[in-house]
Structures are given as structure tokens and as C-alpha cells.
């Protein structure tokens, strides 16, 4: 069975839905997503969205803070582009109906502050901003006649074609696995947009939901696109540490509002690591916690906001309070046990300001892309902003391009005539666990050359096994994710091996110094899609 659309959007998070909703209503758009519409990181975002919204703040200040957090590796043009468009992005969300929290006299929106920001500039919806944003996006998407939403549909691979009339290769659609029908279908489209989120599931401990398996990055790489800066994985310093709590993040806004990090004996320690104390950038806080946990052999440290009035905590952090209460922790009277966990993928598919990748007809936006905004370390709350700003600029570029694009070609249906059903699903679950454990142990917060070499050895063996499986058995949801995770793990390890310095989120005991020259780590696939380099990066 095949489908034919003008635009195929893979992903229904902030990036994918914002783009779909920004296209004109006469454009036929398919949005596919792995599970329900809300099953991406967007739904879980707590803190808020950074934007210049206050007279006392300025574009220059937001730009400078971002550049500083990015440790010399942000692309200034991408930062300026994003920040200049920040107020417009928020206005669009407000028009869409997002219910952002008002300040005390209800005159204006309440702006909070997070690590690395020198101003209060985080607009939020209490401590559940992602839910508020996603609800409004979903309502609008369900009402839009030109959007066709395919839930429980998992994109497997992009289709790349060459034609004598075209200057280079084009992306003309994707093969998509219908999880309910257990069948792979052909989706043809003039333009394909990857909005598949990040790859933090590659690590054993993560704040991300299950689907964050880097599918878009792996698919783009296989289709011949460059990826950049994959070694910069942000570890959120504070995830709830409890045997029964699955990936629950304790928002950075707690530290913004004065929470203290403490050792098990109650001593504060962040002032030993940074002059901003608890408000130091995330990488510094995560490394400090990792250091203290290893030094003391403790399972966690503690985040304490119990010195603030109960009313204040209830009003500002209802979600955190409720979730912790489910595990018997009253955050208004006791400290919260926390550990660091993989949180955000700073690198991704190389794109320009319109989200265009190296492959004609293929765009990438949101966490799956590499725009140059985050550099070596993402500043808190810049990521949802990036999703909206690039969704809008990509939608404009696609709208302008669509009338000039060729009709979809016939396209070949998915062929599974030579594969059988697997009776060895245990191989998949075992490989999942192995992969995520060695990535945590060898390619985590602190790295060494030897650990990276070990990881290289492991990933080669795993890749071989996974390829053999692919050639012989019918695909399944878990298998597709495992194949992509292994691909992304390889890209992370290769990038980390290439970086012979410590910078931002990449910390190596063998190369503790920061090189005076900042360069991106750009990996070029063997089947590179662009004949001329159309998107420049600093190599
Ligand atoms: C707990 C948590 C808190 C956060 N808090 C903040 C915050 O306060 N502020 C901030 O700016 N950022 C925050 N972030 C980061 C931010 O939420 C994400 O970077 C952002 O939401 C990513 O949006 P996205 O649209 O790119 O991807 P996602 O929202 O992750 O959506 C990905 C979509 O792609 C789909 N998908 C993936 N692979 C496939 C495939 N193969 N086929 C079909 N569909 C696929 C998924 O089903 C999903 O619909 C937080 C992240 C987490 C996890």
C-alpha cells in the first residue's frame, strides 16, 4: 500500500506539529509518529521556553548567554537568528492558545530564570510547559483539514532517488512501519521533514521517553547527510533517584528559585565547583555531582527547596511536588534524592537556517537537527525555542519551494519476500541493554581514550549482529529502534574519539584542556548526498 502527500512530517513533537501547522492550508501534509501524538520529549518539558520578552532584557544579552554556555562552539549566526525570532515564536504560541503562567498582578507573563541565563526570560506554564504547548498544538492539528495524522507509524528509512532531470539526489518519501497492522508502507512526498527528537535513549539513565532513539539522525546518515557534534550529550544534573521512578526530571527551575544541592550529610558543595553555585551551567553541575558521587561512593545527592514556603512550592512546582509525593517524598519538608541522566542531544543532522539538510527535499528540525545554536552545551530552555523558530523558517522555505518541485515518482514498495519472522526477540532486548550500559560506562559524563576504544570495539560487534538480523528477519518496532540506537552510538563514539580536548559537555581525562581553536566535529557519510557543500560548518 502507498500514500502520496506534498509534505511528510516524521514526528509530532513541538517541531513537527509547529511546522505542519505553519504550512498553507492547501498543502497536503502527513504527520507520522511512533505512538500517540504526545509521546515525545515535548510533552515532558517542564521549565519553559527562553525568549526576549521583557524591556530590561535584550537580544544581545540572550545571544551572549547562549554563546557563553556553548563554550565557544555556537554558530553566532544561528544564535542571533534564533534569538531575534524568539518573541515572534512565543506570540505564535500565545495565539495558538498556550496558557502561559501570569505574574502576580496578572498583568504580564511570569518569567523565570534558569542556569546560564543572566535575566529572567523563561516563559512557562507552571512546571508543565511541554504539556501546555503540546495540547494547543494537538488541538490545532486535529482541527486542520489538510493534516493527516498517522499515529503508531514508525519511519524505517528515507527514500533517496537520482533522476536525470535533477541536479543531485532527492528525498522522495519514506518507508513507514504500521505498528498496529505489522506492515511496512510506502509514503511518497515532495518534501520530507525529520522532526524525530533526540537520541538520549542511547544511555542507560535518561530523562527522555522511550522513543528518543535517534531515528532521524540514523535515517539521515544512511541517506547521505552529514551529522555534526554528536559527542555533545547533555546530562541533566537532577533526575529523581528512586527505584520505581522511571526517568522523572526535577526541573532546573527549582535551582533557579533557590534550591540547594547537598551531599548525603547535608553539606552544600556547588560553590567548590563554580562561582554561580547551583546556577552554574548544566555540564558543570552534572560533572560536580558525578565527581561527588564517585568520591563518596554514594548512589545520589540531594536537591533541597524545603526552606521555601509550602505555598510557594505548591504554586510553582505542582508537578514535581505531586510526582515526588507518589514516592513518599514531601519536597516542602525534605530534600529530593537526585542523579544525573542523559537529557539532550546537542549534535544532529547538519542544516541551514531553513532546516534544509544536505539531501534535496529533506529537512530536519528540532532536537534531531544540528543548527549551530547549542555549540558544546545547550543553554536551558533554548531547545523548545529552536523547535518553533526553525519549524517556522522551514515551513516558509517549503512553501516557496513546493510549486517548483517534481511530482513524486512511482517508488518501489517495501520488499519482505526474503525474510522470515524472528523467534529470537531476546537477542534484541539483550543488545538494547548491552548497548545502553556500555554507552553509560564508557561514553558518559567523563570520558577517556581507553574507554572510547572499548566502546568502539563493542559497537562494531553489535552492528554486525544487528545487520545480520536485518538481512534475515521481519522488522519490528524494537528492532528498528535498536538499529538506529546502534548507528547513533557509533556516531557519538566516532565524534568523541575525534575531539582531542575538553569542551562544554565533552570532558576527557586524557585531554583536559580546551583547545584555543573551536571546531565542529563533522562526520561525512560514504554516500554523501550533496555534490557541493551547500551548508557550511566550522571544521
Ligand atoms: C524531561 C524533559 C524536560 C525538558 N524540559 C525542557 C524545557 O523546559 N525547555 C526546553 O526548551 N526544552 C526542554 N527539554 C527538551 C525539549 O523538550 C526537547 O528538545 C524538544 O521537546 C524536542 O522536540 P522535538 O519536536 O524535536 O522532538 P520530540 O518532542 O521528542 O518529538 C519527537 C517525535 O518524533 C516521533 N518519532 C521519532 N522517531 C520516529 C520514527 N522513526 N517514526 C515516526 N515518528 C518518530 C516521536 O513519536 C515524536 O512524535 C526537556 C526534555 C525532557 C526530556
Give residue-wise pLDDT tens across range 248-305. Answer: 889 888 998 999 999 999 999 999 999 999 998 778 899 899 889 878 988 899 999 9
Per-residue confidence (pLDDT) for residue 455, from 0 to 100: 98
Residue 7, helix vs strand vs coil: strand
Per-residue confidence (pLDDT) for residue 471, from 0 to 100: 78
Instruction: Assess whether the C-beta atom of 366 lies below 6 angstroms from ligand 1.
Output: yes
With respect to residue 413, please indicate whether it lies within any of the assigned structural domains: no
Per-residue confidence (pLDDT) for residue 166, from 0 to 100: 65
Closest atom, ligand 1, to C-alpha of 12: 49
**Predicted TM-score (pTM) of this structure:** 0.92
Sequential DSSP letters for 46-110: -S-EE---STT--HHHHHHHHHHHTTT-S-HHHHHHHHHTHHHHHHHHHHHT--PPB-TTSSSB-
Ligand 1 center–CA 216 separation, angstroms = 12
With respect to residue 533, please indicate whether it lies within any of the assigned structural domains: no
Work out the burial of residue 496: count CB atoms within 10 Å of its CB; fewer than 13 is exposed, 13-18 middle, 19 or more buried.
Answer: buried
- Where the chain has pLDDT below 70, the residues are 164-167, 410, 418, 423, 531-539
Give the number of other Cβ atoms within 10 Å of residue 430's Cβ: 12
Q: Are 364 and 496 within one domain? A: no
Instruction: Assess whether the C-beta atom of 47 lies below 6 angstroms from ligand 1.
Output: yes
Ligand 1 center–CA 294 separation, angstroms = 30
CATH code, 108: 3.50.50.60
Phi first, then psi: give them for residue 57, nearest 5 degrees: -95, 170
Q: Are 218 and 114 within one domain? A: yes
Give the number of other Cβ atoms within 10 Å of residue 349's Cβ: 29
Which of 240, 383, 476 maximizes ligand 1 atoms within 8 Å of its Cβ, making it the mutation to test the pocket? 383
Q: Which residues of 143-170 are buried (b: 16+ CB within 10 A; e: fewer)?
A: ebebbebbbbbbbbbbbbeeeeeeeebb
Residue 282 catalytic? yes
Ligand 1 center–CA 343 separation, angstroms = 10
With respect to residue 421, please indicate whether it lies within any of the assigned structural domains: no
Residue nearest to atom 3 of ligand 1 (CA): 45
With respect to residue 353, please indicate whether it lies within any of the assigned structural domains: yes
Instruction: Assess whether the C-beta atom of 367 lies below 6 angstroms from ligand 1.
Output: yes
The grid coordinates listed for 374 are 547549542
Per-residue confidence (pLDDT) for residue 63, from 0 to 100: 98
Give the number of other Cβ atoms within 10 Å of residue 46's Cβ: 24
Q: Among the three residues 303, 320, 343, which one is the final residue of a domain in this structure? A: 343
With respect to residue 366, please indicate whether it lies within any of the assigned structural domains: yes
CATH code, 281: 3.90.700.10
Ligand 1 center–CA 39 separation, angstroms = 8
Ligand 1 center–CA 362 separation, angstroms = 19
Taking CA 347 as the corner, what is the angle to CA 138 and CA 89, rounded to the nearest 5 degrees? 40
Which of 175, 180, 211, 483 maximizes ligand 1 atoms within 8 Å of its Cβ, making it the mutation to test the pocket? 211
Query: Which of 121, 282, 436, 447 is labelled catalytic?
Result: 282
Q: Are 314 and 356 within one domain? A: no
Q: Are 321 and 354 within one domain? A: no
Q: Are 38 and 156 within one domain? A: yes
Residue nearest to atom 50 of ligand 1 (CA): 45
DSSP code, position 473: B
Q: Are 96 and 24 within one domain? A: yes
Give residue 409's region: left, alpha or beta (phi > 0; psi -120 to 50): beta
Structural domain range at position 480: 426-523
Give the number of other Cβ atoms within 10 Å of residue 279's Cβ: 19
Number of domains in the chain: 3
Per-residue confidence (pLDDT) for residue 272, from 0 to 100: 97
**Dihedral angle at the C-alpha atoms of 37, 39, 45, 49, nearest 10 degrees?**
-30
Under 8 Å between Cβ of 28 and 213: no
Give 111-168 pLDDT, tens digit per residue. Answer: 998 878 999 999 999 989 999 999 999 999 999 999 999 999 999 999 999 876 666 7
Per-residue confidence (pLDDT) for residue 536, from 0 to 100: 66
Amino acid at each position: 500500500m502507498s500514500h502520496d502527500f506534498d509534505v511528510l512530517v516524521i514526528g509530532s513533537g513541538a517541531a513537527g506539529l509547529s511546522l505542519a501547522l505553519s504550512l498553507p492550508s492547501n498543502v497536503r501534509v502527513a504527520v507520522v509518529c511512533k505512538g500517540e501524538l504526545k509521546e515525545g520529549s515535548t510533552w515532558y518539558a517542564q521549565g519553559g521556553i527562553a525568549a526576549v520578552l521583557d524591556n530590561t532584557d535584550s537580544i544581545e544579552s540572550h545571544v551572549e548567554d547562549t554563546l557563553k554556555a556553548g563554550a565557544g562552539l555556537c554558530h553566532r549566526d544561528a544564535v542571533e537568528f534564533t534569538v531575534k525570532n524568539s518573541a515572534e515564536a512565543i506570540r505564535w504560541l500565545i495565539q495558538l492558545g498556550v496558557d502561559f503562567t501570569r505574574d502576580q498582578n496578572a498583568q504580564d507573563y511570569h518569567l523565570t530564570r534558569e542556569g546560564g541565563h543572566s535575566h529572567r526570560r523563561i516563559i512557562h506554564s507552571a512546571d508543565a510547559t511541554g504539556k501546555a504547548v503540546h495540547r494547543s498544538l494537538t488541538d490545532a492539528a486535529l482541527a486542520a483539514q489538510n493534516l493527516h495524522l498517522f499515529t503508531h507509524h514508525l519511519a524505517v528509512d528515507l527514500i533517496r532517488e537520482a533522476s536525470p532531470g535533477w541536479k543531485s539526489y532527492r528525498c522522495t518519501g519514506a518507508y513507514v512501519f504500521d505498528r498496529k497492522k505489522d506492515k511496512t508502507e510506502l509514503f511518497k512526498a515532495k518534501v520530507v521533514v525529520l522532526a524525530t527528537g533526540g537520541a538520549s535513549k542511547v544511555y542507560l539513565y535518561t530523562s527522555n521517553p522511550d522513543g528518543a532513539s535517534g531515528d532521524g539522525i540514523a535515517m539521515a546518515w544512511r541517506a547521505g547527510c552529514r551529522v555534526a557534534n554528536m559527542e555533545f550529550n547533555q546530562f541533566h544534573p537532577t533526575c529523581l533517584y528512586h527505584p520505581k521512578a522511571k526517568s522523572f526530571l526535577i526541573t532546573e527551575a527549582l535551582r533557579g528559585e533557590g534550591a540547594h544541592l547537598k551531599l548525603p550529610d547535608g553539606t552544600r558543595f556547588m560553590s567548590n565547583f563554580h562561582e554561580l553555585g547551583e546556577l552554574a551551567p548544566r555540564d558543570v553541575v552534572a560533572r560536580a555531582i558525578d565527581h561527588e558521587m564517585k568520591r563518596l561512593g554514594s548512589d545520589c545527592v540531594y536537591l533541597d527547596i524545603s526552606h521555601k514556603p509550602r505555598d510557594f512550592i505548591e504554586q510553582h512546582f505542582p508537578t514535581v511536588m505531586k510526582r515526588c509525593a507518589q514516592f513518599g517524598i514531601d519536597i516542602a519538608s525534605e530534600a529530593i534524592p537526585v542523579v544525573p541522566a542523559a537529557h539532550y542531544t546537542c549534535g544532529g543532522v547538519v542544516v541551514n537556517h531553513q532546516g534544509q539538510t544536505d539531501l534535496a527535499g529533506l529537512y530536519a528540525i528540532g532536537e534531531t537537527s544540528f543548527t549551530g545554536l547549542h555549540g558544546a552545551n545547550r543553554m536551558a530552555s533554548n531547545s523548545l525555542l529552536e523547535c518553533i523558530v526553525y519549524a517556522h523558517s522551514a515551513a516558509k522555505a517549503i512553501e516557496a519551494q513546493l510549486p517548483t518541485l517534481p511530482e513524486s515518482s512511482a517508488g518501489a514498495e517495501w520488499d519482505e519476500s526474503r525474510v522470515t519472522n524472528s523467534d529470537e526477540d531476546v537477542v534484541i532486548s539483550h543488545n538494547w541493554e548491552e548497548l545502553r550500559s556500555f554507552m553509560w560506562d564508557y561514553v558518559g559524563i567523563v570520558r577517556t581514550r581507553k574507554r572510547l576504544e572499548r566502546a568502539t570495539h563493542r559497537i562494531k560487534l553489535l552492528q554486525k549482529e544487528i545487520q545480520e538480523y536485518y538481512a534475515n528477519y521481519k522488522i519490528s518496532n524494537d528492532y528498528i529502534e535498536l538499529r538506529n540506537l546502534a548507528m547513533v552510538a557509533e556516531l557519538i563514539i566516532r565524534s568523541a574519539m575525534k575531539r582531542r580536548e575538553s569542551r562544554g559537555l565533552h570532558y576527557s581525562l586524557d585531554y583536559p584542556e580546551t583547545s584555543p581553536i573551536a571546531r565542529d566535529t563533522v562526520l561525512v557519510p560514504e554516500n554523501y548526498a550533496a555534490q557541493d557543500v551547500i551548508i557550511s560548518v566550522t571544521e
